[in-house]
Structure 1
């Protein structure tokens, strides 16, 4: 659901006139409320709330609408032309909270030094390097929140982000950015974190581990295990894959895009010694149950203890 639909529902709740536009006409949420629920009705060029709409709105939409509206207003992000998906606003709220807590101080400095690209930011925060293409409202919001004046147009910057600590004992290369936005625990345990940008790992060719042990943390899905990790191993042959401890999630229920394909890739990598027996047992279980394990659902320190 997007912000335009949420605003329309709030107007209906306050009995304001809502004109039907293309966004509302194409909205699955509006269609669901109209039929089968019959809580709203199209009358001419307008939507009209029906009996039962108000309590349904209060239960399912009002709290989120007020939270999002307050966030967008407070941060001066609410423009007439703004186009936000609900998940965009949720991610922006998380980024703002991390920034206010000081968790992004080092990252923001490195962003400025790297002259990061829009697609680089997209990969960091949205797990898809093309997600921010043609989403100018979200890009502008990121500039405001991160206090960055511009992003470059290049797709892949040759720059790696690090969360450094005193007296590092271990390096963990992360597929996603999340662990780098929570600095206290890794620093307490002398863990240096690296983030290269998902599949954009060409820059690892120049990485210097300083003879420290290095581990790989990733989503346990097809892309993380069967595509990115083998490429990482080519750049850093001594890297070790961390065993996850997060709860598996259904690929279908989470609408995850990285789906398990046939067994050929799994068998090829197993025969090449990319995975040990314990890792293969878990991989086979995930494939059989059509599940995956999200990297940020793991406890980093526990993973290192178990690996």
Structure 2
């Protein structure tokens, strides 16, 4: 069994020895390396024994113990794009991160701070910075943009008021929608992308409210979360001729929200279900930035 304090980079080192047979010596004082040397799985070689070479005994313990761990953590790292942790964190740390992933729903529902996550899953909240590579990795795993304590400004709602008067409200997933010329009767809101908990503090909207978002797995889950918890009258902004806006997921650069299930369907209208169903069946998405606020789309959503 691999000691939990073993740095992941040591596991990678043994994987490389398995492939190349001999490597310059490294990590000589690590428990796992000492274990392999003491049992004759590795031997010193080269001038003044500056290298480690695998022996005929190496492969069995490597395949039984090291390779499964490497495959497990390597898959997890690639899945969440957290390669920055590879040279800095241990087996124990990666096990903690896997627990964070497994408990994602509770962490988000209970509004855990970064320090709470550290204390609960890593045993201590000391000596860990909010802007560290670990905090960035946890954000990726939880699929959030910030922790509750990250930015005090995130407790506020950003608003772009209309030229004349408010008759409709569009809540936007993307803040760029607020950096545009004002429209006559539409008020635009931005509440922080994925983290929309501040919506619980706003008064009940006096006008029809729509949500403009990416039609993908994350976007639809955020929409239904808002609808269930904060704004029960909100409706999805539905693009006219949505078929023309569909793109295959694998062709969209930097897109990582893959379809996983249809649990959110129970909160959708029939039209919303129709669109979501077609997207899932064709493995496609609709990017929010491609949805134009033109006359056809506005009329389609009851805005005139």
Q: Give the TM-score normalised by the residue count of structure 2.
A: 0.46
Bigger radius of gyration? 2
